[in-house]
Amino acid sequence: MMVPLWTALCWPQALPPRSLAAREVPVPETVSPVLREAIAPAWNPPVVPRNADEWRAFARQRDEVRAKQLPELRERLGVRVEETKIAGVRVYRVRPASIAPVNRERLLVHLHGGAYVFSGGETAAYEAILMAGHGGIEVLSVDYRMPPDAPFPAALDDAVAVWREVIRKNPAAKTGMFGTSAGGGLTLATVLKLKELKVPLPGALMAGTPWSDLTKTGDTYFTNEMIDNVLGTNDGMLDGAARLYANGRDLKDPLLSPVYGDLSGFPPALLLSGTRDLFLSNTVRTHRKLRDGGGTADLVVYEGQSHGQYMIVNRAPESAEAFRETARFFDKHLKR
């Protein structure tokens, strides 16, 4: 149906959605063979948990699978992990075999992903191991509380509490913060909260494909639906996790969806995504918001990658590239 130009200009809500014929999307030949193998499989929709017990069981099952990967990953990257507590919150101190001389007085605080319901316990440190190993820097990974037992604002409270304690001994300007997916969203939300509390901010951030908008808003929630073979769609499990975490709060609250917050005055930030990422629009919108707020923000979009595959496909050369890119960004912006 054609829409008159005047109607389209005055009432953009009248514009119809675009319908596309069924088509095949080939696996790109412009990525490594390891990543091509990960791109090829179609998305397999998970069963959506219906109650708190089912969410707990689902999270436990997923975390057990990832936990089995950790011994090999630690050994391959030459990283040691020690469980401890900071401000009453369980954290994992992740140390590489060799810390780069420039990083000996620096530290990174890591907030893990997992839709705010997965990657608890030792699996919280999965991405931190990659960062420490490839970046030659010590990382503290925060095992924050999660729903269904501890919905919002428990995760945010834990992140803030750990940060406050960390900067008692480590200058904020020499300390970075990072995370992927929900961890990227929580990184941004934590900085918003620190601004509100007038607490010193991290020297730099990395928000990888951040879940910066818990609502289905943004172009690639639609254009990359089912193209992304990690998340697939916002409908079902992902939307359910968002609502479980929010616990009745407006999903556009900036402390849940930080893209709606005031991002002026933020530290330098690196944002990562991929061309097939369901959250590419989240990442692009956050980047633009940071830039509009006068901040320094770099955006890196990787060829062919679905959500967080630079982390998930950890043997691909693209994974090492992403974490080395992140290390260079922190090296550039953290105080020496």
State whether the Cα torsion 181-183-184-190 is positive or negative. Answer: positive
Residue 273 lies in a domain: yes
**Span 179-193, pLDDT tens digits:** 999 999 999 999 999
Per-chain mean pLDDT for the chain: 94
CATH number at residue 196: 3.40.50.1820
If pLDDT is split at 50, 70 and 90, which confidence band does 1 have? very low
If pLDDT is split at 50, 70 and 90, which confidence band does 24 have? confident
**Span 106-118, pLDDT tens digits:** 999 999 999 999 9
If pLDDT is split at 50, 70 and 90, which confidence band does 14 have? low
Report the number of distinct structural domains present in the chain.
1
- The more confidently predicted of residues 84 and 3 is 84
Q: Give the mean pLDDT of 316-334.
A: 97
Residue 20 lies in a domain: no
Residue 185 lies in a domain: yes
Is 225 a residue whose pLDDT tops 50? yes
Q: Looking at residue 7, what is its pLDDT?
A: 53
Is 239 a residue whose pLDDT tops 90? yes
Contacts of 117 by beta carbon, 8 Å cutoff, 6+ apart: 55, 58, 59, 146, 147, 148, 241, 244, 245
Domain span at residue 173? 50-333
Residue 72 lies in a domain: yes
Whether residue 28 has a cis bond before it, omega within 30° of 0: no
Taking the CB of residue 42, how many other CB atoms lie within 10 A of it? Answer: 9
Bridge partners of 82, per DSSP, are 93
Residue 18 lies in a domain: no
Q: Give the mean pLDDT of 78-91.
A: 97
**Span 132-169, pLDDT tens digits:** 999 999 999 999 999 999 999 999 999 999 999 999 99
H or E segment at 290? Answer: helix 280-292
Residue 24 lies in a domain: no
Is 3 a residue whose pLDDT tops 80? no
Residue 246 lies in a domain: yes
Residue 40 lies in a domain: no
Q: Among 11-20, 126-135, 199-208, where is mean pLDDT lowest?
A: 11-20
**Span 38-47, pLDDT tens digits:** 999 999 888 8
